[in-house]
């Protein structure tokens, strides 16, 4: 069995200029925007208290994003907010003046006109962009990487998008989306990865993701955990990880003891981990087909903004083999008596799978000690998607297959 790889963050700090992207004030604007949607409701923070006690933790919480806007994944938070911010920018106003009922009005459509939003996706982000574009009466074009499933493609098409599965990886799809957007009038790339010259929209997407962090922090407080000791978050390009680490770093900036931030990637696409291993502060790229069942994490080129946040504030980077995700999926689906079941997809289950492996497998005892995971630990994980590919989910959870 492939081993989990990990590295402690020893990179020299940068000037940390991007932490301000995820201030509580900025995230609050995004949350108010999302709250204006009739589809909005707070997703559950599940306390797995029986499991925590059994594996030797004080408490274990999982933020369950399978309920988000009826789309079975968190990604819509970023795409919708970025599109709202973009429309506001084009109209010379601010996003707080564009709640859902205004954004979707005939009057605004006349003022703004017709745009086509382009994106690359394994499924969740593209579906979120397509859904938001459809609600706003706009067009969307979605490119999916090699290996994407027909089911996920069809879910995006149902939202009115033009969608294709390409013969290359995610990062090449990003480049295609960018190139194609320049060929049409009012073509706009809505991508959660940043590069030099393309930062505003990725920053807005990260702020949109902040809604789930702000919800989680309030829910933790109600549960009696003001500050968790450990926050474990998955990463593809790193936008969600940067958003979560950035938000909680700002939120707990005056806390005597901050949480340990642990970033978990798919071993087949562990660009952040490789950057941390190199230790020079420069991002690294993983090329090729990026083989992993964690389709949402199969990204080989980091978001430069989130990389800078993680470089300064993440404590550990982890490269997890696929069995870690499968373990997390099964434990989520069949918890101990008294705990709530969570339908967690391949990318969604990686953090919980990692915690389970570290707490229960003897070969990771030294990592458990290094991370100070023990009976005093209060751990927060994120399940970012439900069964976004139901057949694959059943194959893994019901039949014990690899994918």
Q: What is the set of active-site residues?
A: 75, 122
Cα(290)–Cα(114) distance, rounded to whole angstroms? 36
- The H or E element containing residue 282 is none
Q: Closest by alpha carbon to 240, among 193, 201, 197?
A: 193
- Tell how strand 59-64 and strand 45-47 pair up: antiparallel
- Tell how strand 260-266 and strand 230-235 pair up: parallel
341 Cβ contact partners less than 8 Å away, ≥ 6 residues apart: 332, 333, 334, 335
Residue 196: count of CB within 10 angstroms of its CB: 6
Cα(9)–Cα(317) distance, rounded to whole angstroms? 7
Could you give the strand order of the β-sheet that contains 187-189, starting from the edge strand earlier in sequence?
162-165, 139-144, 116-120, 187-189
Q: Which two tokens stand for residue 188?
A: 């706009």
Cα(349)–Cα(118) distance, rounded to whole angstroms? 28
Residue 183: count of CB within 10 angstroms of its CB: 9
For residues 297 and 321, is the Cβ–Cβ distance under 8 A? no
Classified as helix, coil or strand, 73 is strand
For residues 306 and 28, is the Cβ–Cβ distance under 8 A? no
Q: 3-state SS of the chain: helix, strand, coil percent to 5?
A: 50, 15, 40
For residues 303 and 239, is the Cβ–Cβ distance under 8 A? yes
Q: Which two tokens stand for residue 154?
A: 């069809």
Cα(204)–Cα(27) distance, rounded to whole angstroms? 10
């Amino acid at each position: 069995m492939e081993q989990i790889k990990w590295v402690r963050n020893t990179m020299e700090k940068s000037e940390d200029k991007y932490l301000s992207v995820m201030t509580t004030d900025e995230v609050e604007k995004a949350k108010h925007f999302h709250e204006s949607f009739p589809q909005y409701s707070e997703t559950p923070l599940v306390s797995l208290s029986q499991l925590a006690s059994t594996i030797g933790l004080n408490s274990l919480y999982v933020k369950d994003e399978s309920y988000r806007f009826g789309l079975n994944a968190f990604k819509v938070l970023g795409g919708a907010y970025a599109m709202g911010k973009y429309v506001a920018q084009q109209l010379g106003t601010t996003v707080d003046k564009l709640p859902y009922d205004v954004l979707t009005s005939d009057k605004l459509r006349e003022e703004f006109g017709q745009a086509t939003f382009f994106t690359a996706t394994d499924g969740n982000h593209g579906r979120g962009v397509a859904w938001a574009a459809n609600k706003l009466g706009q067009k969307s074009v979605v490119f999916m990487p090699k290996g994407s499933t027909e089911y996920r493609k069809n879910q995006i098409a149902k939202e009115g998008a033009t969608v294709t599965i390409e013969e290359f990886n995610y990062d090449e799809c990003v480049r295609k989306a960018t190139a194609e957007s320049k060929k049409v009038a009012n073509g706009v790339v809505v991508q959660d990865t940043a590069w030099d010259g393309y930062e505003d929209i990725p920053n807005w997407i990260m702020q949109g993701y902040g809604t789930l962090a702000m919800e989680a922090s309030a829910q933790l407080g109600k549960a009696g955990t003001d500050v968790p000791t450990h926050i474990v978050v998955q990463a593809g390009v790193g936008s969600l990880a940067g958003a979560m680490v950035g938000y909680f770093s700002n939120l707990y900036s005056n806390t005597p003891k901050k949480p340990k931030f642990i970033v978990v990637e798919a071993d087949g696409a562990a660009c952040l981990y490789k950057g941390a291993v190199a230790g020079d502060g420069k991002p690294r790229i993983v090329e090729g087909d990026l083989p992993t069942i964690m389709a949402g994490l199969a990204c080989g080129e980091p978001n430069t903004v989130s990389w800078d946040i993680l470089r300064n504030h993440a404590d550990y980077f982890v490269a997890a083999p696929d069995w870690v995700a499968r373990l997390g999926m099964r434990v989520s689906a069949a918890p101990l008596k008294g705990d709530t079941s969570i339908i967690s997809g391949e990318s969604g289950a990686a953090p919980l799978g990692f915690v389970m492996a570290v707490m229960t497998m003897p070969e990771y005892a030294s990592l458990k000690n290094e991370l100070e995971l023990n009976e005093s630990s209060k751990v927060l994980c994120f399940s970012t998607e439900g069964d976004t590919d139901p057949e694959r989910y059943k194959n893994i959870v019901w039949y014990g297959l690899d994918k």
